[in-house]
Structure 1
């Protein structure tokens, strides 16, 4: 298995890169999907959130009220850290299970862990990635995307950008940087080149074992 850690700030284009790598043949494990899975009704994660943040963040149907929780954590760094302490370890345990399943199915699989908070939660992941890829766009570009595409106010968009690691912190982790300030096609072309490079590495490793 060749394991890629793929990260980028909110609205950086990371999801587009992950989708492209999946189309090319990689196994994509989406940390955001796992984060929703580990706080579904009846899970220990949701119970821990209810205990820590109170009944106001639980919807009438028993599910997590994401809007209510978001209003708390995006305005208070301490509350955000408290939430991360609950969810990050649970997400990582589930991700490890999926990595192992992919490797059992194909020992030479390229597995992409699509994770927005790679820099923020490094201590929760006792593993070394074969490659860390950062999808990078300027804060101004991401702010514009959040306002024009996702409909957030500039203040809401700024809170979300500032709640994550800085660009410098993410770039310091990077083995490869995909610049997504340009067009979508320019970003996808870089993803194509990355996958071709990785597959070449995997094939050489296979040849060396033969």
Structure 2
């Protein structure tokens, strides 16, 4: 069985996915694939650089994520352009990895962690969609702390994504990650049993 795991920026998707992996699930991480397709020599990075210019690269030819982030999180058209360039390849690799894992491990829960799962309309790829949720004020605070952002920078990033309250209503399953790690772990344990994983 597979589930698509999503949430908002800084809601704790990685925390929940790692707890599920600890229980025995297998993980396909869209962020890891997104980083891979942006490595030097990859066609996606070349296309992104052609669109946004050499200024988004560091001296060694690697992507300057902060610079690109500052561009796309303040300009909806720029963000759309980046997604249009990168998402088809990320989606293709996600699908290939998911199918391969399902074929090799038919009895194991496969978790596919995709930050923009709902925005990209990918729900039909999965048996169920799990949203990792925290209220927006906690989300903003965690984002500021995690990425050393100002309130305005954090707000711009949150504004660029679908509101977490909306995502929550579109989920088959919800894990509320606004309390302690122990509380989140308890919810993961209950979910594990609910999904019939022993």
How high is the TM-score relative to the length of structure 2?
A: 0.94
Determine the structure 2 residue equivalent to 1:111.
110
Q: Does 1:82 find its partner at 2:71?
A: no
1:141 is aligned to 2:138:
yes
CA distance in 2, matches of 1:72, 1:150: 16
The CA distance in 2 between the partners of 1:128 and 1:37, in whole Å, is: 22
User: Paired residues, what number?
Assistant: 198
- CA distance, structure 2, for counterparts of residue 151 and residue 67 of structure 1: 11
SS in 2 for 1:78: helix
Give distance in 2, aligned partners of 1:72 and 1:22.
34
Q: Do the aligned residues in 2 keep the contact of 1:119 with 1:169 (CA within 8 Å)? A: no
CA contact (8 A) 2:3 2:111 kept: yes
Task: Give distance in 1, aligned partners of 2:185 and 2:76.
Answer: 34
Could you tell me which residue of structure 1 aligns to residue 69 of structure 2? 70
CA contact (8 A) 1:3 1:131 kept: yes
Matched, 1:194 2:191: yes
**Which runs of no fewer than 5 residues in structure 2 stay unpaired?**
none
Over alpha carbons, which structure has the higher Rg? 1
2:168 aligned residue:
171
Q: Distance in 2 between matches of 1:81 and 1:150?
A: 22
Q: Does 1:32 align with 2:18?
A: no
In the alignment, what sits opposite 1:181? 178
Name the CA shift for 1:91/1:55 in 2 (closer, same or farther; >3 Å): same
Contact 1:40 1:63 in 2 (8 A): yes
Note the C-alpha offset of 1:96. Answer: 1.1
> Closer, same or farther in 2 for the Cα pair 1:148/1:57, shift >3 Å?
closer
| Contact 2:4 2:123 survives alignment (8 Å) | no
1:129 matched to which residue of 2?
126
Contact kept? 2:135, 2:165, Cα under 8 Å: no
State the TM-score, normalized to the length of structure 1.
0.89
* Structure 1 gap segments, 5+ residues each: 204-210
Q: Please tell me whether the aligned partners of residues 58 and 64 of structure 1 are also in contact (alpha carbons under 8 angstroms).
A: yes
Please give the alpha-carbon distance, in whole angstroms, between the structure 2 residues aligned to 1:81 and 1:19: 29
